[in-house]
């Protein structure tokens, strides 16, 4: 074994001590109106020695009980401090200090091809967390996840990320956390996604500071309209965002936007992709009224939409 590999393994061993197992119990309605407990499992990343742990919101969503197991087998009851639904991030607190906190990196400096390691603790067993390796395949990915949630600016990696590793860290060769792994994407084979740590840090700071989600929401799932997509769906050869789904009860739904509409402009700014649309929306505030110009059944129309928080 080379000295360089030895160094990386030492770094990963240290980073693994900040990774915890999170097990949950949810109550769900079964047949004949019975309420039964359902267990779930995921991972978390200690970001503060005072007991603050980052994980995915979908790991702890709806949980009646949360148990946190440290790398050394110690078990504590966890409390959800808050969540950031827009980025699938949640913050859990345990009543314990002097925990081994992870060293956080700077996700703005990530590069495609950079080697990374996904660490998870899906079982909480002796022997510690699991580690998989890979490279960063792409940056700034926007994907549709569960329940119509649109996750943006994700890091894409070929490091294996299974559901039990959700909430664990994606670390670089120096052991710094550059993203938080998420396995919320269904049917992904050989592709993993992670939330950039700079976004996760901002979410945790807002939660600890008692602030709510600050980004406005329009309530659609959209697809950048390229020439290929237009040909495939027999649509006009225009640039814009094809609305593929409208979230019931959301701002777009209330304004009369429908699946199949093509968004062309927002407040007069040309929209050529889903990234353009998100960028313009996030310049606004919750409660702002925006004017959307779109194609509906071949004709151009305009409508005012009042942006809101995510439902």
Out of 212, 239, 271, a domain closes at 212
Catalytic residue among 18, 67, 83, 88: 88
Whether residue 180 sits in one domain with residue 239:
no
Average pLDDT on 103-130 reads 85
Residue 158 has pLDDT above 60, yes or no: yes
Out of 195, 212, 229, a domain closes at 212
Domain count, the chain: 2
- Whole-number pLDDT of residue 165: 84
Q: Bridge-partner residues for 194, per DSSP?
A: 155, 181
Q: Tokens for 79, please give them.
A: 């409390």
Whether residue 225 sits in one domain with residue 205:
no
Whether residue 224 sits in one domain with residue 205:
no
d(CA 111, CA 173): 13
Catalytic status, residue 304: no
Instruction: Read off the pTM.
Output: 0.71
- Strand blocks (E) in 95-183: 115-120, 130-144, 150-157, 169-171, 177-182
- Whole-number pLDDT of residue 220: 87
Residue 311 maps to a domain: no
The HSE-up count of residue 88 (CA atoms within 13 Å, CB side) is 30
Phi, psi dihedrals of residue 174, rounded to the nearest 5°: -95, 5
With residue 296 as reference, give the H or E element that holds it.
Answer: strand 289-296
Q: Bridge-partner residues for 225, per DSSP?
A: 240
Residue 149 has pLDDT above 80, yes or no: no
Catalytic status, residue 48: no
**Per-residue pLDDT tens digits for 181-220:** 986 555 556 688 999 999 999 888 888 877 655 678 898 8
Q: Which CATH number characterizes residue 266's domain?
A: 2.30.42.10
Q: What is the torsional sign of CA 89, 94, 96, 100?
A: negative
**Per-residue pLDDT tens digits for 270-284:** 998 887 888 898 888
Burial 101-121 (b: 16+ CB within 10 A, else e): bbebbebeebeeeeebbbbbb
Q: Where are the alpha helices (DSSP H) in the chain?
A: 3-16, 57-60, 197-208, 227-232, 251-255, 274-281
- Whole-number pLDDT of residue 292: 95
Q: Which residue has the higher pLDDT, 45 or 211?
A: 45
Whether residue 253 sits in one domain with residue 167:
no
Whether residue 152 sits in one domain with residue 67:
yes
Whether residue 256 sits in one domain with residue 189:
no
Residue 197 maps to a domain: yes
Q: Using H for helix, E for strand and C for coil, what is the string for 199-260?
A: HHHHHHHHHHCCCCCCCCECCEEEEEECHHHHHHCCCCCCCEEEEEEECCCCHHHHHCCCCC
d(CA 188, CA 168): 18
d(CA 89, CA 44): 11
**Weakest-pLDDT range from 95-104, 129-138, 213-222:** 213-222
Confidence of residue 221 (pLDDT cuts 50, 70, 90): confident
Whether residue 274 sits in one domain with residue 206:
no
Catalytic status, residue 172: no
Catalytic residue among 67, 166, 261, 293: 166
Residue 47 maps to a domain: yes
Whether residue 270 sits in one domain with residue 139:
no
Whether residue 126 sits in one domain with residue 5:
yes
Whether residue 187 sits in one domain with residue 224:
no
**Weakest-pLDDT range from 36-45, 173-182, 295-304:** 36-45
Residue 47, burial from CB neighbour count under 10 angstroms (0-12, 13-18, 19+): buried
Whether residue 298 sits in one domain with residue 158:
no
Confidence of residue 163 (pLDDT cuts 50, 70, 90): confident
Out of 179, 212, 245, a domain closes at 212
Residue 124 has pLDDT above 70, yes or no: no
Taking a C-beta distance cutoff of 8 angstroms, is the pair 112, 154 a contact?
no
Whether residue 272 sits in one domain with residue 152:
no
List Cβ neighbours of 293 (8 Å cut-off, separation of 6 or more). Answer: 263, 264, 265, 266, 300, 301, 302
Average pLDDT on 122-144 reads 79
Q: Residue 138 sits in which domain range?
A: 1-212
Residue 187 maps to a domain: yes
């Amino acid at each position: 074994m080379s000295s360089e590999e030895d160094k990386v393994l030492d770094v990963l061993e240290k980073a693994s001590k900040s990774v915890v197992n999170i097990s949950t119990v949810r109550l769900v309605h079964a047949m004949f109106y019975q309420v039964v407990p359902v267990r779930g499992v995921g991972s978390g990343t200690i970001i503060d020695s005072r007991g603050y742990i980052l994980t995915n919101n979908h790991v702890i969503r709806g949980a009646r009980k949360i148990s946190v197991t440290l790398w050394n087998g110690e078990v504590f009851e966890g409390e959800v401090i808050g969540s950031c639904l827009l980025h699938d991030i949640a913050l859990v607190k345990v009543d314990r200090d002097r925990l081994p906190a992870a060293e956080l990196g700077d996700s703005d400096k990530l590069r495609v091809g950079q080697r990374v390691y996904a660490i998870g603790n899906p079982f909480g067993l002796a022997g510690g967390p699991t580690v998989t390796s890979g490279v960063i395949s792409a940056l700034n990915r926007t994907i549709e996840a569960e329940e119509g949630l649109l996750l943006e600016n994700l890091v894409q990696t070929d490091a294996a990320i299974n559901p039990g590793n959700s909430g664990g860290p994606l670390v670089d060769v120096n052991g710094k956390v550059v993203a938080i792994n998420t396995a919320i994407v269904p049917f992904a084979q050989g592709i993993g996604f992670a939330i950039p740590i700079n976004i996760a840090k901002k979410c945790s700071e807002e939660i600890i500071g008692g602030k709510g989600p600050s980004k406005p929401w329009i309530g659609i799932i959209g697809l950048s309209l390229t020439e290929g997509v237009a040909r495939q769906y027999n649509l006009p050869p225009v640039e814009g965002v094809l609305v593929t789904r409208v979230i019931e009860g959301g701002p777009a739904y209330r304004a009369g936007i429908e699946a199949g509409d093509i968004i062309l402009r927002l407040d007069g700014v040309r929209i050529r992709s889903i990234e353009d649309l998100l960028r313009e929306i996030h310049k606004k505030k919750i409660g702002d009224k925006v004017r959307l110009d779109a194609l509906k059944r071949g004709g151009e129309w305009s409508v005012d939409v009042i942006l809101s928080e995510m439902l």
